[in-house]
Amino acid sequence: MRREVTLRDVAELAGVSSRTVSNVVNGYANVTERTRERVQRAVEELGYRPNVLARNLAQGRSGQIAVVVPYLDTPYFSELLQSVIRAARVGGYNVLIDQTDGDPEHERAFIADGSRRLLFDGVIFSPLGLDQQALTDRDPTLPLVILGERSSDGFFDHVGIDDVAASRQATEHLLDMGRQRIAAIGDQPYATGEAAQRRTRGFCDAHKGRGLTPQEDLIIQTPRFNRIDGAQAMNHLLDLPEPPDAVFCYSDLVALGAIRSIVSRGLRIPEDIAVIGYDDIEDGSYSNPTVTTISPDKEWIATTAVERLLLRIASDTPPPGLELRAPHRLIVRESTAGRTPDAR
């Protein structure tokens, strides 16, 4: 029978002390990133699983964290959740996942007083139905990390990318191509549409930075960031007397819908209309054409969110809330660059 892997085994493989391994698996911050990565590799290689049952019972904890997202059928969230589960497992935690469908009351239940009776020790939360003000009306003792575009109020951590800067970069890519009528699909000018509003701001900033005025009739609102939203919005744009020659889509799913509409009209991508998306989901690498996109570092977002939440769970005095900006990059593919001669 194979003997159980111990914390000391992990320490020997990683070349660190047992205390350092303990700090990593418990989510403490006083470990360098290089050391943390080395310990995590050793944990995964050995298949180490912390015996957290006794620890949790002694500390009055469940050993579970909740991850609350609007939709599970959105590839961005499903890809992010895989990374969250892996990071939580390293810390000895199981993950409870809930889909809210953006329902405000459902979302509010996860952060209300007494919410932890649902058997979790803390929440990683991507709200859709709750605005910034609603997030302040919650259980102040609940360890909480927010994803997406909600600013920290000083009592929870916020992990996300700079949507304004990323959207500006996406739009500048289209402007650098010489495109003159650039559309944007995905604006949401209501209280809970902060992410969309920041992307619209980046879109407008890119134009203004070149001495241009964005054309309001080319900024199209959508209820969600899905394929059908992109297809319907693109059909509207193509019916204009003067259609756009490029389009910035606020998600890759929107871009896939837009591409379908463009191709169905017999137009060429990117020769007639260039398309850029957002999120870098796997489907964008296999579509025809492949989708140029803004790629957030989802692994960084997931790992950082879990580490900050476990730190909050373990701390008698919760640390101040931080604004944590994930790296992002522009990935240029066929929907703006065209096919290379050797493309298959």
Can you give the pLDDT at residue 162?
94
Can you give the pLDDT at residue 344?
46
Residue 60 backbone phi and psi in degrees, to 5: 70, 35
HSE (CB half, 13 Å, CA atoms) of 137? 10
Can you give the pLDDT at residue 114?
67
Model confidence pLDDT, tens digit, residues 193-239: 888 999 999 999 999 999 999 999 999 999 999 999 999 999 999 99
Nearest to 220 by CA among 247, 193, 260: 247
Can you give the pLDDT at residue 210?
96
Tokens 């890809």 correspond to 79
Please tell me what DSSP assigns to residue 218. G
Q: Please state the pTM of the whole predicted model.
A: 0.80
Can you give the pLDDT at residue 61?
64
- Residue ranges and CATH numbers for the domains of the chain are 1-50 (1.10.260.40), 59-161+306-325 (3.40.50.2300), 163-296 (3.40.50.2300)
Can you give the pLDDT at residue 56?
54
Which regions of the chain are under pLDDT 70?
A: 1-3, 26-29, 50-61, 113-118, 149-154, 341-344
- The Cα 188–Cα 298 span in angstroms is 23
Please tell me what DSSP assigns to residue 185. E
Task: Show contacts of 100-109: CB within 8 Å, 24+ apart.
Answer: 100/68, 100/69, 100/70, 100/127, 100/128, 100/129, 101/70, 101/71, 102/70, 102/71, 102/128, 102/129, 102/192, 103/129, 104/129, 104/130, 104/134, 105/129, 107/68, 108/134, 108/137, 108/138
Structure tokens at 22: 């303990």
- The Cα 140–Cα 111 span in angstroms is 9
Q: Residue 180's CB: how many other CB atoms inside 10 A? A: 12
For 200-209, b/e burial (b = at least 16 CB within 10 A) is bebbbbbbee
